A = this chain, B = another copy of it.
Amino acid sequence: MPSPARWTAALTLSAAAVCGPLALPAAAAHAAPAGPASLYAPTALVLSVGHGERAADATAERAVTLSCAPTPSGTHPAPAEACAELRTVDGDPASLSPGDGVLCTKEYDPVVVTVEGVWRGKRLSYERSFANPCVKNAYGPAVFAF
């Protein structure tokens, strides 16, 4: 015969199965691989790239939007991959590091990348210049490939 603890657990699970979906907000209808926190903390970014050393001096040649919750979306060409890459560094582009085995020439043709907006409710403002586009892509093969 089941113990009272088991009964309680079974009842709780049944109640969750019945009531859980009704209690969740509409956004929960979308799968959120990053976990429950991303259902409520907004993530919306805009990324730009231009030639130069400083964003203030460089024309934004390309700019894309990227949203990572409830589902990856935006004008970024690969939102799912870009969001996954940002999750590996907890939304901090400064923590991205180049992958092993990536070879780039030492040509100096600087490009500057900006990432601005909100990552899980926290404001984000990032700017970094790379010696050339190959180096940029080594640091962010998904997120900086736009």
Which residue of the partner chain, among B62, B116, B125, contacts A42 with CB atoms under 8 Å? B62
- When C-beta atoms are compared, the residue in chain B nearest to A44 turns out to be B63
A69 to B3, CA, bound (A): 63
Distance to closest chain B CB from A64 (angstroms): 5
Once bound together, how far apart are the Cα atoms of A17 and B122, in whole Å? 51
| A46-B65 in contact given A116-B116, A116-B117 (Cβ < 8 Å) | yes
> Does A64 contact B46, Cβ atoms closer than 8 Å?
no
**Cα–Cα, bound, A42→B61 (Å):** 7
A123 CB to nearest B CB, Å: 6
Please state the number of chain copies in the assembly: 2
Which residues of chain A from 14 to 49 have any CB-CB distance to chain B below 8 Å in the complex?
A: 42-48
Please state if A44 and B67 are interface contacts (CB–CB under 8 Å). Answer: no
Q: Which of B48, B75, B118 contacts A60 (CB 8 A)?
A: B118
Residues on B with C-beta less than 8 A from A99 are none
| A67 / chain B contacts, CB cutoff of 8 Å | 64-65, 74-75
- CB contacts (< 8 Å) of A47 on chain B: these are 44
Nearest Cβ on chain B to A56's Cβ, whole angstroms: 8
Q: List 21 A-B contacts (CB under 8 A).
A: A42-B60, A42-B61, A42-B62, A42-B64, A43-B63, A44-B47, A44-B63, A44-B64, A44-B65, A45-B46, A46-B65, A46-B116, A46-B118, A48-B118, A60-B122, A63-B118, A65-B66, A65-B73, A65-B74, A67-B74, A67-B75
